[in-house]
Structure 1
């Protein structure tokens, strides 16, 4: 009986997942867009520790000068999964493999995808994450729910490029919410993963939704966000040359 109950529950989960997938495809006009269903990651570490530089620097992150002072490597980044209790550090070239192997974050291919965040009712802080591969680069979409004031949650969505700030300037991204004849669009330049997500949110350099606005665009507890990434005009001119 227990086995039957577990199997029946798994079938219901699959049906619900498929239902959400079809809903997102109906919301966005392009039927060919890839829909990625993303489950939330709840807070697993102290928020105040996220932007701190580790006290103990490994040999990979530092180099010795004449006076033996330790200098932090600016190309080194901490784990870009903001709410994971992960002490990993590494260079930009290995960030993607860390995300996929250690945290099992999916990589989606294509310049346009639909990001479907489930369980919007989860208590803050909570994150939804997905890696986006296109235009020969990788990007990380972070949707965060956190309280601005106690009892007043907000949603923040931003795109990070897994590269340097100079590389990130060569791209633009668009986030679009569309439901019941309403459309909300945010367009900007992605930030580098070398930046701290907390700082990006504090600067307001991201899409910000209050709880009522998020509810307006959500459907059955899920929020569908259309994502499109393009190269900037400068990047296009350089490729032609």
Structure 2
């Protein structure tokens, strides 16, 4: 009987997951887009977190106490995790997938389906996106501007340098009930830190009522498209 109950529960979960995929594909006109269902991460931080390129790999001379900073050393890109990891750009994606089990999607156009958007702030939804020879991070965060006033912030970050980020454009699109909202910009480098991007307001910003207009049963579907804006050398990573 217990086995039957567990199997039946698993079937219901699968049906619900397939329904979420269907809902997202129904919202967007391009049914061929890959849909990724992204579950939220709630705040598990303990203490403050250093932001941006930290220079954590400093080397002090015993006589001069000179500090040498590595400009490509970055903190963990999952701000709501209590993670003190730091590393170079080439190992960021390995850390995210192995330590935080962040999913990687491939292709220039995908649909990001954030579930349970009505959870109390702070909460985040994160995926990695592989296309055009590079890795990107899509971060959706819900946090309070002040008490009782939550907002949603969505941004695309390149796992690369700021100079490399200038070679790309990204578009985020919300589309539901004959309403469409689009944000287009150049991605920021993960060296800039998600916290800094949100503080600067250099991202898609939604207040709670607007987010509700585009939500469907507590889920928010965001179409993502990444393009190059100039001829640039691309890595072999896909």
User: Does the TM-score normalized on the shorter chain lie above 0.5?
Assistant: yes
Instruction: Answer yes or no: is 1:158 the counterpart of 2:170.
Output: no
Contact 1:47–1:83 (8 Å) recurs in 2? no
Q: Could you tell me which of 43, 58, 77 is aligned with 1:62?
A: 58
In structure 2, distance between residues paired with 1:197 and 1:42? 16
Number of the residue aligned with 1:20: 20
Shift of 1:54: 7.2
Shift of 1:64: 4.5
Number of the residue aligned with 2:39: 39
Query: Which sections of structure 2, spanning at least 5 residues, go unmatched?
Result: 234-238
Number of the residue aligned with 2:85: 88
1:136-191 per-position Cα deviation (integer Å, ceiling 9, x unaligned): 00000000000111111110000000001111011000000000110000000000
In structure 2, distance between residues paired with 1:47 and 1:208? 26
User: How many residues in Structure 1 have an aligned counterpart in Structure 2?
Assistant: 232
Query: Which sections of structure 1, spanning at least 5 residues, go unmatched?
Result: none
Structure in which a larger fraction of residues adopt helix: 1
Aligned counterparts, 1:1-241, within 5 A:
1-46=1-46, 48-51=48-51, 57=56, 61-64=57-60, 67-232=64-229, 235-236=230-231, 238=232
Tell me the TM-score normalized by structure 2.
Answer: 0.92
In structure 2, distance between residues paired with 1:213 and 1:47? 32
Contact 2:122–2:141 (8 Å) recurs in 1? yes
1:21-61 per-position Cα deviation (integer Å, ceiling 9, x unaligned): 01111111111110000000111104742428879x4xxx2
Contact 1:109–1:134 (8 Å) recurs in 2? yes
Deviates more, 1:131-140 or 1:196-205: 196-205
In structure 2, distance between residues paired with 1:93 and 1:48? 25
Shift of 1:219: 0.3
Q: What is the CA RMSD across the aligned residues, in angstroms? A: 1.9
In structure 2, distance between residues paired with 1:39 and 1:8? 22
